[in-house]
Structure 1
């Protein structure tokens, strides 16, 4: 069977993250510049392969000073490590429209295997006749695993930034 290539529809996709702040609340952010691809064989997503990249310089939390700090050597070190990269290794079906995708995530020069949950929204045609497929991807990573270790302690003994980062991608792919 011939492989089908899909490219990301950036206008209808988003890449977001959430981190605990002071243990009491959550700070949200996003990457505004990213790319992704998918290669499928027929309709069986368990035989698909996927990749994803995000440009660190496009990080946005709505607070320019915080964004600058996140790009610095304290966190992502964007000057030396300008991209986050993911490459799938395995996709397993876990429900009617649910999958578990395992692959290698590289942040700040460190590569670790992670698994994320994928909900397949199905396919449809846009008004221009393009075939689109929708996916919601969610997971958690420990930022310390990737060398994002900066933190501070408040007077009360709380850490400023939590270790667990929630990731959420709402992705629309377009069939080539």
Structure 2
């Protein structure tokens, strides 16, 4: 069987997340520098291996002070852990365009399994003749599983930062 390699089109992809702030609103953020590859055995994304890395110092939430705090040892500790990595372990079809993507996520030197819901958006040729493929990924992780433990108690009860991180990822690949 022929292996087809795909690389990320970063101008048409986004690695985003949301986390509760003060227990009642969400703060959104994203990573601006990342790489991803996919390898298919059949060209149809039914049997696919995915790999992903993001530069932790590329995080942005739209607030300079918050971003500086996220880069510190309280959270991502970018001096010691410059990358987040994901390597798939399985990609299983659920329905026509819905899949389950499982893999190992490494963050702050800790590797744990994660499960993401994947929607395959299909393939098409762009106006320049390049074959493209699109995916939407969603999932949830608990930040404390990777040692991101910092928090602050609120006077009215609760905490400043939620533990659950909602992932919202849009990927567009280009056939190599």
TM-score past 0.5 threshold: yes
SS state of the match for residue 53, structure 1?
strand
Kindly indicate whether residue 7 of structure 2 is the aligned counterpart of residue 7 of structure 1.
yes
2:117 matched to which residue of 1?
A: 117
Segment of structure 1 superposing worse, 40-49 or 80-89: 40-49
Q: CA deviation at 1:27?
A: 0.2
Kindly indicate whether residue 73 of structure 2 is the aligned counterpart of residue 83 of structure 1.
no
1:138 matched to which residue of 2?
A: 138
Q: Is the 2:72–2:78 Cα contact (8 Å) retained in structure 1?
A: yes
Q: Is the 1:8–1:171 Cα contact (8 Å) retained in structure 2?
A: yes
2:29 matched to which residue of 1?
A: 29
Q: CA deviation at 1:148?
A: 0.3
For 1:46-125, list aligned pairs within 5 A. 46-125=46-125
Segment of structure 1 superposing worse, 97-106 or 38-47: 38-47
SS state of the match for residue 45, structure 2?
strand
**In the aligned structure 1, how far is the partner of 2:94 from the partner of 2:124?**
22
Q: TM-score, with normalisation over the residues of structure 2?
A: 0.98
SS state of the match for residue 155, structure 1?
coil
1:40 matched to which residue of 2?
A: 40
Q: TM-score, with normalisation over the residues of structure 1?
A: 0.98
**In the aligned structure 2, how far is the partner of 1:117 from the partner of 1:107?**
20
**In the aligned structure 2, how far is the partner of 1:14 from the partner of 1:50?**
16
SS state of the match for residue 65, structure 1?
helix
* CA root-mean-square deviation: 0.8
Q: CA deviation at 1:2?
A: 1.4
Q: Is the 2:4–2:43 Cα contact (8 Å) retained in structure 1?
A: no
Q: Is the 2:34–2:52 Cα contact (8 Å) retained in structure 1?
A: yes
SS state of the match for residue 145, structure 1?
helix
**In the aligned structure 1, how far is the partner of 2:44 from the partner of 2:120?**
12
5+ long unaligned stretches in structure 1 = none
**In the aligned structure 2, how far is the partner of 1:27 from the partner of 1:48?**
32
Q: How many residues were matched structurally?
A: 176
